[in-house]
């Protein structure tokens, strides 16, 4: 329960790297896995390189994490943050499809 863990402030962060060479990607990935505040990190295609799901206790704590963690990760050129106002659906269940015979 994020509230009980003082991690009820949820933010999604777009990360654009300065380069997408294998070395830069590896350095970023190796660094990002060490931060418990970063609960998910996905490499994506499109206008940015990674989408991070981050949890903290407050906006103030997120600002600290942004400055001391996100902006210091290897290769980071730019970030865009999206604080979550309301979680509409949060599920990890996957419906298994069966073939009709």
Q: Encode 12-37: b = buried (16+ Cβ within 10 Å), e = exposed.
A: ebbbebeeeeeebbeebeebbeebeb
φ and ψ at residue 9, rounded to 5 degrees: -95, 110
Q: What is the pLDDT of residue 5?
A: 56
Delineate the domains of the chain, giving CATH numbers in brackets. Answer: 9-83 (3.30.70.920)
Nearest-10 Cα torsion for 16, 22, 28, 34: 150
Q: pLDDT 10s per residue in the chain (101 long)?
A: 665 555 688 999 999 999 999 999 999 999 999 999 999 999 999 999 999 999 999 999 999 999 999 999 999 999 999 999 998 988 888 888 888 76
Q: How far apart are CA 69 and CA 56, in angstroms?
A: 13
Q: What is the pLDDT of residue 98?
A: 84
Q: What is the pLDDT of residue 94?
A: 86
Pair of tokens at residue 35: 């931060």
């Amino acid at each position: 329960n994020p509230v009980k863990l003082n991690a009820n402030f949820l933010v999604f962060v777009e990360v654009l790297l300065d380069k997408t060479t294998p070395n830069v990607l590896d350095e970023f990935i190796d660094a990002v896995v060490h931060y418990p505040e970063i609960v998910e990190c996905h490499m994506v295609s499109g206008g940015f390189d990674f989408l991070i799901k981050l949890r903290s206790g407050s906006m103030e704590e997120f600002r600290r994490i942004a400055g001391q963690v996100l902006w210091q990760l290897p290769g980071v050129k730019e970030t865009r943050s999206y604080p979550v106002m309301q979680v509409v659906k949060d599920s990890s269940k996957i419906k298994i499809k069966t073939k009709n015979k």
